[in-house]
């Protein structure tokens, strides 16, 4: 059996607590929120302090994307080195699942924290993360397991076998 007036007191207690609490909203766009480290927005290239990228053009991310929105145009030179003509990515169609980042054997891409992704024109949603740049060369040492090292040497995708078994795109 409840005591008469308990509900009113509980309601007043909650009202007082919210009355004294500071605002949890921000005055966007003048103020911006700090996103949690693991939040996922658009894909971006990882670059070192000199601005160099880590992409080997192995194509693992392109094959892993369930939306087929990564399109990497690569030219293979006579010495088997690769040249990235364009590392294309359609932001507007990305569902920020992070599968491309997980598939990358070289930690060359990551999910960024930039949430201001609106563009004035639809064509601006098709962006190039890399353009006209050499891929990281086949002589580079891989830090990961031997399959990744092999991928570096041959320029192949170390996850291709697993995907084939799953019936993924080849």
**What residues line the site for ligand SF4 (CB under 6 A)?**
43, 55-61, 64-65, 67, 69-70, 72, 94-100, 103-104, 106, 108-109
**Closer residue to ligand SF4, CB minimum distance, 22 or 169:** 169
Q: How far is the CB of 95 from ligand SF4 (least distance, A)?
A: 5
**Closer residue to ligand SF4, CB minimum distance, 10 or 76:** 76
Peptide bond into 68 cis (omega under 30): no
Q: How far is the CB of 163 from ligand SF4 (least distance, A)?
A: 13
Q: Residue 98 — left, alpha, or beta (φ > 0 → left; ψ -120 to 50 → alpha)?
A: left
100 and 61 Cβ atoms separated by less than 8 Å? yes
Pick from 117, 113, 102: nearest CA to 37 = 113
**Closer residue to ligand SF4, CB minimum distance, 25 or 146:** 146
Q: Tokens representing 147?
A: 């399959």
Q: How far is the CB of 93 from ligand SF4 (least distance, A)?
A: 7
**Closer residue to ligand SF4, CB minimum distance, 18 or 89:** 89
HSE of 57 in the Cβ direction (CA atoms, 13 Å)?
26
Q: How far is the CB of 19 from ligand SF4 (least distance, A)?
A: 42
**Closer residue to ligand SF4, CB minimum distance, 73 or 116:** 73
Q: How far is the CB of 63 from ligand SF4 (least distance, A)?
A: 9
- Extract the runs of DSSP E, i.e. beta strands, from 11-154: 43-45, 70-76, 82-90, 109-111, 126-134
Strand partners, 136: none
């Amino acid at each position: 059996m409840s005591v008469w007036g308990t509900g009113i007191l509980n309601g007043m207690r909650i009202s007082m607590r919210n009355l004294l609490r500071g605002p949890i909203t921000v005055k966007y766009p003048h103020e911006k929120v700090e996103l949690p480290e693991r939040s996922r927005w658009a894909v971006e290239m990882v670059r070192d302090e000199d601005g160099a990228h880590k992409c080997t053009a192995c194509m693992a991310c392109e094959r892993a994307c369930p939306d087929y929105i990564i399109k990497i145009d690569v030219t293979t030179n006579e010495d088997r080195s690769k040249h990235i003509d364009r590392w294309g990515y359609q932001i507007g169609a990305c569902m920020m699942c992070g599968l491309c980042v997980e598939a990358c054997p070289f930690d060359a891409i990551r999910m960024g924290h930039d949430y201001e992704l609106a563009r004035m024109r639809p064509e601006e949603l098709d962006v190039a993360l890399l353009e006209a740049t050499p891929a990281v060369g086949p002589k580079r040492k891989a830090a990961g397991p031997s399959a990744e090292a092999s991928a570096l040497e041959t320029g192949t995708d170390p996850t291709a076998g697993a995907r084939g078994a799953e019936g993924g795109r080849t």
